[in-house]
Amino acid sequence: MKSAVIARLATLLCVLTLTPVITHAQPAEPYPPLVLGTAWYPEQWPESRWDADLELMHKAGITMVRVGEFAWSRFEPSEGHYELDWLDHAVAAAGRHGIYVVIGTPSAAPPAWLTQKYPETLRTLEDGRRDQHGNRQQFNWANPKYRQLSRDMAEQLAKRFGHNPFVIGWQIDNEYANESYDEATRAQFQAWLKDRYKTLDNLNTRWTTSYWSETYQSWDQVPIQTKYGNPGLLLSWKRFVSDTWRSYQKNQLDAIRAHSDRHQFITTNMMGWFDGYDHYTVSQDLDLASWDDYVGQGQLDRYSNGAAHDLTRGFLRKNFWVMETQPGAVNWQKINNALDKGEVRAMAWHDIGHGADAVSYWQWRSALNGQEQYHGTLVGTDGTPVPLYAEVAQLGKEFVKAGPTLAGTSVRSDVAILHSYDSRWAINWQRHNNTYDPVAELVSYYKPLRDLSQSVDIVNPSAPLTQYKLVVAPGLNVLSDAEAKNLIAYVEQGGNLVLGQRSAMKDGDNTLQTERQPGPLVSLLGGRVDQYYALIDPVPVSGDWGTGTSQQWAELLSTKDPDTKVLMRFGKSNGWLDDQPAAITRKVGKGSITYIGAYLDPASMTKAAKWMLDMSNVQPKLGTVPEGVDVYPREGPHGKVYILVNFATTPQTVTLPTSMQDVLNDTTTTTVTLPTYGVSVLTPTR
């Protein structure tokens, strides 16, 4: 009781002493290099409660709150009447507690008056029904009226907060996800096609519409198809969707830019492996990529989650933010188990290791009503900490301690994996084997490459590649001419390219390549795919990478060029594949090109990865570590930093290659012993 009184007094004193700073103010310092944040919804609580919440945040080392992203009905209670004073008070209150603010534009949750007055702003579902008020994301992203209203809203916010020194950035909307299938949107799609294909003859040829009498004689005949349809049409719709999200975003982004300080970043929170639109297209206008990282059911899968981090880092090819992550548990899975004690902290360091500069928990406190009453939080309904709060507070201290060492550092990899939405969509539309998941395929390559090299970038096939010693393209099913040129140039300049199964089957229109796979890379490879086979049972493979199996898929390869070598062969299976090449490689000057036609089992994939790294001369960034220990190297102008996290179920000891400063413990050491979920931040002693 006594300590509670002292704490309250301390809060009051702190508030009183800091009050004068608020109004004219500048924050005492720029925002920290490692940001610990939370989603805060001041509009759900009386203003008299805010200081207590902010003080508790401050005590946990929280330095950022994201606010406002669903508050449209509070910002604009009726058309054209804006009420932003409350947010001004909330931002000032946060500033008093040394907490910076990211403002979300509220367009993911339009108010009832808006969609009632302008029903065309509601999206139309694929079955023709109109969505309704009461959830979120019910808006039509292509509708001009909705764009005007959401732009006006964003502009009001930017005019008011664009130069507020406590506001460090903007999040546009929230998790773009839903399209609309109304007639006006379809007309926009048809106009988009006309702009892209110019003539119907061109479109008909490139989509081979003589098939099933699909030929179009006027643009308004073209339908929207999303799952089963002409592959050229399916891909075009997805590209239209992506471009429309980009212009939807730009509409608000331009309004914010026009009225805000250039130091305020603009981002949107994306969703890891979600493939509703091409994230490379949508990211290009942003200052910062960010994503919402939820484990959901089970425990953290450090490979698929780590790859999702690397994917997000690849959108703008620089550090990113984790704008939302779960404080323990979510509410939307079949079983919403909590992460283990220590796992939330371990996950935060895994995020930072992959290049995140911020980790922000969704959410601070549960709204008393609303759809997410069961979701994890940092304080309970009574406004006092839940058990996890202490773990987050530990992170808060650690972020302060390690911040200066990690400031200005980023991830630098020798290995890149190529990822393309076109290819993922194309495979998913025609999996041919229903168990074939292109993300799982990518992760099957990622896992051993990450373990053995300790750092992997994931970038799109048109990204600059010359900095990489090894580029691996699993399932690069759709390969445009420009992308093919990029890959050929990379190999000819001495790079090592490895193509995984199902690569380069289609061109940029999702049309089959006439040279068979890998299309424009056949002559560079000096070989090709003669036939592909969907498999019910795994088939044996053997060769330079030992003996193992190919699962789900097998591509019978052939070599034409005498320099092209066979690395692996299929064993006895369906007769067609027996003893035929399963992986081939060819040296091209100082570079090389390899094609793997087998979907290798994990042990064989590890050997294949070792071969790829050895021939490309890639070393592990830190050196060998015990199984279960993840190494996350970051580099900056002042040298290297290694974050280690132990995900094994027993303590592990890592012998370091040189003497290092243990940043969190203020010691110098040549070995570290980590308990399960233990973390170490190390930098070589100078």
Catalytic residue numbers?
A: 175, 324
- State in angstroms the smallest separation of the CB of 288 from ligand GAL: 17
Shortest distance, position 111 Cβ to ligand GAL, whole Å:
17
Q: Is 175 a residue that touches ligand GAL (CB under 6 A)?
A: yes
Is the separation of the CB atoms in 297 and 342 below 8 Å?
no
Give Cβ neighbours of residue 359 (< 8 Å, ≥ 6 apart): 35, 36, 37, 322, 325, 348, 351, 352, 395
3-state secondary structure of 619: coil
Cα dist from 271 to 30, 223, 435, 606, whole Å: 28, 28, 23, 28
Of 152 and 372, the one with the shorter C-beta distance to ligand GAL is 372
Measured from the CB atom, the residue of 41 and 280 that comes closer to ligand GAL is 41
Residues 480-519 interacting with ligand GAL (rule: CB under 6 A)? none
Q: How many helices (H) and strands (E) does the chain have?
A: 18, 25
Q: How many residues does the chain have?
A: 686
Instruction: Report the amino acid identity of residue 369.
Output: N
Euclidean distance between CA atoms 380 and 368, whole angstroms? 10
Size of the site for ligand GAL (CB under 6 A): 9
Q: Which is nearer to ligand GAL, 11 or 326 (CB)?
A: 326
User: Rounded distance, CA 33 to CA 40, Å?
Assistant: 21
Q: How far is the CB of 460 from ligand GAL (least distance, A)?
A: 24
**Distance of closest approach, residue 2 Cβ to ligand GAL, in angstroms:** 38
Rounded to a whole number of angstroms, the minimum distance from the CB of residue 363 to ligand GAL is 7
- Residue 322 near residue 351 (C-beta atoms within 8 A): yes
Q: Which two tokens stand for residue 102?
A: 């990211």
Helix intervals (H) in 125-270: 144-161, 183-197, 200-206, 231-258
- Pick between residue 327 and residue 678 the one whose CB is nearest to ligand GAL: 327
Task: Report the 10 Å Cβ neighbour count for 258.
Answer: 11
Smallest distance, Å, CB 294 to ligand GAL?
Answer: 5
Which CB sits closer to ligand GAL, 37 or 591? Answer: 37
DSSP-based three-state secondary structure for 595: strand
Query: Are 541 and 582 in contact, with CB atoms under 8 Å apart?
Result: yes
> Residue from 362, 364, 553, 647 that binds ligand GAL (CB under 6 A)?
362
292 contacts ligand GAL (rule: CB under 6 A): yes
Pairing of the two strands 35-39 and 64-67: parallel
Which pair of tokens denotes residue 300? 């953290």
What is the rounded distance in angstroms from the CA atom of residue 586 to the CA atom of residue 495? Answer: 12
In the complex, the smallest distance separating the C-beta of residue 175 from ligand GAL, rounded to whole angstroms, is 5
Question: Taking CB under 6 A as the rule, does residue 586 contact ligand GAL?
Answer: no
Judged by DSSP in three states, 546 sits in strand
Of 57, 157, 330, 418, which lies in the binding site for ligand GAL, with binding defined by CB under 6 A? 330
The CB-of-68 to ligand GAL minimum distance in angstroms stands at 12
Under the binding rule (CB under 6 A), the answer on residue 174 touching ligand GAL is yes
Q: Give the closest residue to 225 by CA, choosing from 273, 193, 270.
A: 193
- If residue 445 lies in a helix (H) or strand (E), which one and from where to where? helix 438-453
- Interaction between residue 173 and ligand GAL (CB under 6 A): no
Task: Map tokens 């048809």 to a residue.
Answer: 190
Q: Give me the least distance between CB of 324 and ligand GAL, in Å please.
A: 6
**Angstrom distance (rounded) from CA 513 to CA 102:** 47
**In angstroms, what is the minimal distance from the CB of 578 to ligand GAL?**
49
Report H helices in 504-624: 522-525, 602-615
366 binds ligand GAL (CB under 6 A): no
C-alpha separations of 258 from 80, 147, 184, 252, 287 in Å:
20, 17, 29, 10, 15
Are the C-beta atoms of residues 70 and 136 closer than 8 Å to each other? yes
Which are the contacts of 307, defined by CB distance < 8 A and separation ≥ 6?
Answer: 417, 442, 443, 446, 450, 456, 458
CB 557, CB 582: distance < 8 Å = yes
For residue 47, the minimal CB distance to ligand GAL (Å) is 22
The 616-645 site mask, x for binding ligand GAL (CB under 6 A), equals ------------------------------
Give the x/- contact pattern for ligand GAL in 437-456, rule: CB under 6 A.
--------------------
Bridge partners of 418, per DSSP, are: 459
Binder of ligand GAL out of 66, 375, 607, 634 (CB under 6 A): 375
User: Are the C-beta atoms of residues 380 and 374 closer than 8 Å to each other?
Assistant: no
Residue 324 makes contact with ligand GAL by CB under 6 A: yes
Q: What is the dihedral of CA 634, 457, 283, 288, to 10 degrees?
A: 0
- State the Cα–Cα distance between residues 138 and 144, nearest whole angstrom: 15
Give the residue with the Cβ less far from ligand GAL, 362 or 468. 362
Instruction: Please say which residue, 66 or 350, places its beta carbon nearer to ligand GAL.
Output: 66
- Where on the chain is the footprint of ligand GAL (CB under 6 A)? 174-175, 292, 294, 324, 330, 362, 372, 375
